[in-house]
Amino acid sequence: MTKTGCPRSSVVALVVALLGLLASARPGEAQTPTVSGEAFALQATVFGLSGPTTTGLASTGSLVDDGDARTAGLATGSIPSVGGANVLHATTISSIATWSPGDEIASEASLADLALTVAGSTISAGFVRAEADAPVGAVATGSSTVEGLAVNGVPILPTGDANQTISLPGLTLVLNEVQETASGISVNALHISSSLDGLDVVVASATAGIGR
């Protein structure tokens, strides 16, 4: 009796080809973009004997999907050995309905009556705010406001430029700190760091992005 069939190598090749076709099927399906959004009013990283400890006030956490919205707030709040503020507020919202122009991710954070002590210097401000927006099909944008900023009672005037840096002995301040990525933008209204004790403080931070 004569047996007929195809070689084993041909069977393997056929299976591989079929798997490839299945993987490339559904040509009409598009990959759903991802969203990112987060905001907080005040955050400090303090270095101790056990390592760095980060504390955030009025922090929303990150968006989990395109239907998420988060908000956080405190009437007043403080971080030990750093300082605090009043009327702390933060929001991050995904306004995605159809992934078409007009839909966006929007984040915002603000506080009032800032009073901090960093590297022996007192830092105060009447009002601080950051916002970030990532529209569908357009470039993400952000901005910040810092009113009444002073270090040891000496006023500091914001220029409005991105990443305005002020260097003082043992202390660095960055106003309107902007970090752009391919998917979005992060804005820190005021970033304070100390080379003396490693203390790092961010005042009013907002992040928004849309990626794939």
Residue 8 lies in a domain: no
pTM: 0.84
Q: CB pairs under 8 A, 24+ apart, for 116-120?
A: 116/82, 116/83, 116/84, 116/192, 116/201, 117/81, 117/82, 117/83, 118/82, 118/171, 118/192, 118/194, 118/199, 118/201, 119/170, 119/171, 119/194, 119/195, 119/196, 119/197, 119/199, 120/170, 120/196
Residue 197 lies in a domain: yes
Residue-level pLDDT at 24: 45
Residue 93 lies in a domain: yes
Residue 85 lies in a domain: yes
State which residues form the domain around 169: 34-211
Residue-level pLDDT at 32: 75
Residue 10 lies in a domain: no
- State the total domains in the chain: 1
Residue 31 confidence class, pLDDT cut points 50, 70, 90: low
Alpha carbon 170 to chain centroid distance? Answer: 26
Residue 6 confidence class, pLDDT cut points 50, 70, 90: very low
* Dist. CA 86–CA 89, nearest whole Å: 9
Residue 191 lies in a domain: yes
Higher pLDDT, 212 or 4: 212
Residue 20 lies in a domain: no
pLDDT tens sequence across 126-145: 999 999 999 999 999 999 99
Nearest residue to 38 (alpha-carbon basis) of 83, 94, 81, 87: 94
Residue 17 lies in a domain: no
pLDDT tens sequence across 57-94: 999 999 999 999 999 999 999 999 999 999 999 999 99
